[in-house]
Each structure stands twice: as structure tokens, then as C-alpha cells.
Chains A and B, each alone.
Chain A
């Protein structure tokens, strides 16, 4: 009897093992141990933007079962010849897929794609793959304008609260009684223009009478310049400062002024800014790169082709805003959830032409986006962002926003 029981039990265990094994291999494609992936990073894990990419790749690798030694990392690679050198070395080491994370790497990655046609290269946040004529050269981005819009909604809720509580001073308004917002941008081109316009429209959806001043720092990462830009915007009367630059310079500077009792707040980018601005930071718009890397590395594991232009947003979970700061107005979370739901189900379009004007007019047609001249981008009452290529294409300067430099 005992023997029989032992036999049945051990049979059951074997069956269970087989069953478990089956379900594990059934879901995933086994990873070819020879698969090697190269990653070229502009910084290292100490820099928020690069950290987000490292984090995304690690999550994707874990999910797909790619081992640590199958990924070769190249840290702190400049946007110059060293990028091409790094790409070529990765190819020499046997990488069949190479990712670079900075916009400035793109030119060198494209050159490498031309020189090594058997390797797939992805220049993240780049914009020239669509026109390169190379089928092993890809770009990927997220619809970060969606999360910027939502971060604008958070700022708008705060602004509405400040107005209601009569907290604003006279210099916070322009001559036409519009409340002033500020924005610290990196460079004056479509990626940044698309971002600040989305942020502005998000605020405007809550508080209709707003204007915004934009200051460019001409650098992606410059703590001092971003801090100074934020200070001068606040000195000029701006209440909430958004940003499209990678450092914590602006939120830290805003926190210092906030401490003096002046109402001023920060909306960050990439990472949660609460650690440097516990009182001033409202939220940050972020990308969830793991969604893309899981897709792209998944394609690599299966040996499928990676899409040449990939850009997804809230619907796929590729963008988000960080945890709301303690200074956020009551009811913000509820409003945010509503807006996200509307973006997901397609009832809300960020660049809905009924919500903004350019040169005093509502646009019904736009065919002058840089690099895509001749393509109609306004259809069905909204600007079709990130559809022709993954990188943002919205470069219309709309009414209410002033570029200061």
C-alpha cells in the first residue's frame, strides 16, 4: 500500500513537473544563447534619462529570459565618432541588434547601419530612419506628448486652486489677465515644440486663460543653465514651470524659491522630482521604455523584424506621469484618471484643432512639418502626431506661447 502511494505520488510529481515545464516553454520562445544585444548609452545610471533606458532594457530582458551576459553595455558614449566606434566594436563582439539612446547618436548609428547591413540598429528618439532607405535602421519613441498633456492637467488643477484661493500676485498675470506659465526647453525643434505645446494645452484644458513663456538652454543636460532659466522665468511672473531637459536643475531652483513662500511649482521630465523638490514638484511626464524594449527584444528573440518606426502611448502603457506631489490640488488624481481614460479610448486628442489657434486662426491643414513637407498632418480635426515617423513632428508655434530666446 505504502509503495503504491509512493508510486502514485511520484508519478503525480513527474506529471506536475512536465506540465509546469510545458507551460513555461509554451509561453516563451527559448532564447538563442548566441543572441547578443549591444546598448550604447549617452550617460550611465546616475543620469535620469539613461537610467530610464537601462531600467527598461533590464526589465525587458528579465521578462524575455535574456541573460545578463547577452547584453553588452557601452556607457557614457559621446555624440561623436566614439559612437560609431562603439557600434562597430559591438558588431565585432557578435551583436546582431544595437540600440543607442540619445538623439545625437543617430548620425553615427545610421552610418554603422550602412556599413553593417546584417545588424539591426535602433536609434532611440531619432527621426531619420523613415527617410534613410536602410531597412536595418530603425527609430523608436513614445507618445510622450500624451503624458505631457496629462502633466499639464495636473498643473492646471494646481493653477485653478491657486486662483480660487487668491494666492497669485499681480505680476503672475499678463496685460490681458492671463496667468503666466513657464517652460525650460532644450532645443528649438519639433520634439521640444510638440512637448511644450502638449503641456500648455493640458493646462489650458483646466484654466482657459493662460499664456506660456519658453526659454531654451541649448543643451539636454545642464543643471546650472536649467536652474537659471527657471529662476528668470519665475522672476518674470511664471507660476508653474514645465521642462524638457534632463537635469534636476529647474525643480531644485524652484524648490528653493518655493521655500521663501512664493507660490511656484515644477512639472518635471523623465524622473520623479520629489527627491529634489518635495514641496514644489507636482509630477513628471515619463516614458516607460520597457514597453518598447520588450517589443523590440521580443522580436529579436523570435528573429522577427523590428518596426522601423515605433511610437506608442497610454494605450500600451508606454508613457505615464510620476507619483503626484503633496502640493497637488484636491481632486487631481480623479481628473487625471478621467483624462487618461479619454486618451486611451480615443475620445480626447491632444492636438485637437478646436483647442488652439496659430496666427489667430484655427488650422484645417498643415503640410509644412520639417522633413515631411507636403504630407497632410491635420485630419479629422486634430494633428496626427508621431504617425508618419516615431519622433514628434508637431512644430507649429501656436498662439499663447512665446519663445523668449
Chain B
């Protein structure tokens, strides 16, 4: 009797799929988004008794309702994408860089320091110095865990995570040092009067330079990962360090080189956040993007072009949520629930793309 039960196939089995045609995978993702919108609609209707279509329309107008709103959405998308680009090579190498938040912050602190102390430099030179300083700061913050990983095989997840806290404390220290006005514990807008170190408008568009920088980085990273020898080495190291060694790839060198690139681009993100957007520095300058970007990089499977779509979706959801909160006097937790539902479905859809659910056939004869 008991034997019979044991021999029986389980009701549900999960097996890994060999691979799914791209079109079908995107189809599943599309269905997930539609399902999530339906579930969110039900939640909106049941909890707040409002017309879900109107709520969705408000979300769209919150993100794209005017040219200023669209530009802000684009600016924030670029910022998130930039961090995603930075994380892509590290994660592809299976180096869990949880430290983007800190790498962005030190890049931002370096930028702010240049803006405050080097105001007298000519504009072009100021920007060169700022870029070099922010890259160096971000790269240094990533280099430390990379060195320890390469030399002593330390756990990079913990190391990079702890580096975040060091960066946050460091930022708080500089905020206290530069606070303006005194006692306010905020730096305020840096160079309010002179706009030194601020991104210039291009064709009258304040945030066009942000777009250009990130677009160049996105295309560059795409080519680097897909077409270059370095990119190939990253893939091999990520799949199997032993294979990499067997193929004569210096794993240590690849780890250190890749993390330097990852940290450097995070540093540039900090530069974008300070010079290109907020013109100030605070412990919230990175704003959790270092973590959100992990979702971006993973969902896009390190394809920087797909990353753009996902960054845009996440930023759109955030702006939409704020718009709902403002328009309908909903607590923003209510609107964040919608964001949560949508993300849940999208992440869940990856499961169905990677795995297959097999239900036990009903007419399964005993003992076959």
C-alpha cells in the first residue's frame, strides 16, 4: 500500500526548460503584464472603489502628462539604466555586486567635492576633473571587494554590502561638513548662483546630456559584453571558473578588471545624479537605485537594450504611483501596492519561462 503511494508520480512536477523561443518568452511576459493589470484593477476596485481605467490613465499622465513630466521620467530612467549597465558585467560574471548603492554615493560625493572646491576651474576642465574623480571613487569602492575576492576568495556579497554602509556614513560626514545653511543637515543646492558643474542644456533640453551619456554607455556595454574578448571571458568565468582556468583565462584578472568597470560606471551614475539632476548630495542621493538596478539587470539578462525597457517600466510605475497618490488622496502605500502586484507578475513570469509545470496525467495506470 505504502509502496504504491511512493511510486506514484507527484501531482505537480517542475522541470527546467531547455530554452524557449524568444517570441514565446516575450508573449508570456506580455500575458503577465496584462494579468497583473487585471489583478491590480480588481484590487483598486475592491479597496478604493474607483474606476481602474481612470486610475491607469492618471498613471500615464503622471509619467508622460507634460513635456516636463516626460523629461523627468526619461531622466530617472537613464539614471536607473546607468546603474543597471554598471551591474551587468559583474552579475554576468556571477560576482554579486550588492554595493552599487555605495559606489554611486562615493561617485556623487566626489562630484560634489569638485563642484564645491574647484569652482574656479574653466568649465571644460572642471567637467574633466569631475568625471575622473567620480570614476576613480566608484572604481575604488568596487576594487576593494574585488581584490579580496581574487586574493582570498572572500564573500563578495557581504563585502560589497558592507561597503554600502561605509559609503553612507562617509556621505553623512560630508553632508555635515558642507551643510548649508548651518544646522540644517542638508547641503542644499550646490553653486545655486553660478551653476558651476551643472550639466548644460543641449538644444534647450536640460536632461539631454544625461540621455546621451547613458546611451553611449548602453551601446558600449552591449558591444563589450557581446562582441569583445573581455565579454567572452566574463561569460566563461561566470559559467564556470574551472573551465575558465582550463582555457587559460586569468580569473583573478577578469574579476578585478570587471569590477573596476562596474564601479567606474556606478561612479558615473553618481556624477549624473549630482551634476545632472539634483545638484546636491545626501545619503539618499542613490535612492535605492543600486538595489533596484539588480532587478533591471537580471530581468534583462544583461542585455543593455532590454534594460532600457525595464528601467522605463519601473520608473513609469513609480511616477504613476505618485500621480495616483496626489490625484486621489490615496496614501502612497496604496499606489505602491499596484507597483508591487505588477512586479510580482513580471518576476513570476520568468519562472514559467525557465521552468515547465507538469501535471500528473489523470489516467495514470498503477504499476504502468
Contacts and interface: CB of A to CB of B under 8 A. Distances in A.
Contacts of B282: 79-80
Interface stretch (A84-92, A157-165, A248-256): A84-92
Interface stretch (A23-31, A102-110, A135-143, A285-293): A102-110
Contacts of A74: 322, 326
A331 B183 CA distance: 39
Contacts of B184: 103-104, 187, 189
A92 B69 CA distance: 10
Interface in B277-332: 277-280, 282, 284-285, 287, 322, 325-326, 329, 331-332
A366 interface: no
A371 B52 CA distance: 51
Interface string B263-289: 000000000000001111010110100
A72 interface: yes
Contacts of A108: 189
Contact of B189 (A46, A103, A111): A111
A189 B279 CA distance: 24
B200 interface: no
A189 B277 CA distance: 28
Interface residues of B, number: 27
Interface string A264-280: 00000000000000000
Contact of A107 (B280, B285, B331): B280
A370 B182 contact: yes
Contact of A46 (B278, B284, B325, B331): B331
A382 interface: no
Nearest to A189: B183
Interface in B45-73: 66, 68-69, 72
A44 B331 contact: yes
Interface string A42-69: 0011100000000000000000000000
A200 B279 CA distance: 39
A209 interface: no
A116 B259 CA distance: 44
B186 interface: yes
A398 to B, nearest CB: 17
A327 interface: no
Contact of A72 (B185, B186, B189, B326): B326
A78 interface: yes
B188 interface: yes
A107 B326 CA distance: 22
B192 interface: yes
B21 interface: no
B196 to A, nearest CB: 15
Contacts of B188: 106-107
B10 interface: no
A45 B333 CA distance: 12
Contacts of A371: 181-182
A127 interface: yes
Contacts of A75: 325-326, 329, 331-332
Given A108-B189, A110-B192, A370 B181 contact: yes
Contacts of A187: 183-185
A89 B280 CA distance: 20
Given A78-B284, A80-B278, A73 B326 contact: yes
Contacts of A114: 192
B192 A111 contact: yes
A28 B181 CA distance: 40
B185 A73 contact: no
Interface in B179-201: 181-186, 188-189, 192
Given A72-B326, A111-B192, A371-B181, A92 B186 contact: no
A232 interface: no
Given A108-B189, A189-B183, A85 B326 contact: no
A101 to B, nearest CB: 15
Nearest to B193: A114
B66 A80 contact: no
A136 B165 CA distance: 41
A151 interface: no
Contacts of B278: 80-81
A218 interface: yes
B197 to A, nearest CB: 15
Nearest to A103: B184
A236 interface: no
Nearest to B72: A85
Contacts of A88: 68
A73 B329 contact: yes
Contacts of B332: 44, 75-76
Nearest to A127: B181
B288 to A, nearest CB: 12
A188 B72 CA distance: 35
Contacts of A110: 189, 192
A308 interface: no
Contact of B183 (A73, A80, A89, A370): A370
A190 interface: yes
Contacts of A218: 185
A189 B326 contact: no
A284 interface: no
Contacts of A191: 183
Contact of B66 (A45, A89, A104, A111): A89
26 contacts: A44-B332, A72-B326, A73-B326, A75-B329, A75-B332, A76-B322, A76-B325, A80-B280, A80-B287, A81-B279, A81-B280, A85-B72, A89-B66, A106-B188, A107-B188, A107-B189, A107-B192, A108-B189, A111-B192, A127-B181, A128-B181, A188-B183, A189-B183, A190-B183, A218-B185, A370-B182
Q: Ordered nearest first, which 3 A-B pairs have the shortest CB separation?
A: A189-B183, A81-B278, A107-B188
Interface of A: 44-46, 72-76, 78-81, 85, 88-89, 92, 103-104, 106-108, 110-111, 114, 127-128, 187-191, 218, 370-371
Given A80-B284, A370-B181, 11 more contacts: A44-B331, A73-B329, A75-B326, A80-B278, A81-B278, A85-B68, A88-B68, A107-B186, A127-B181, A189-B184, A370-B183
Interface of B: 66, 68-69, 72, 181-186, 188-189, 192, 277-280, 282, 284-285, 287, 322, 325-326, 329, 331-332
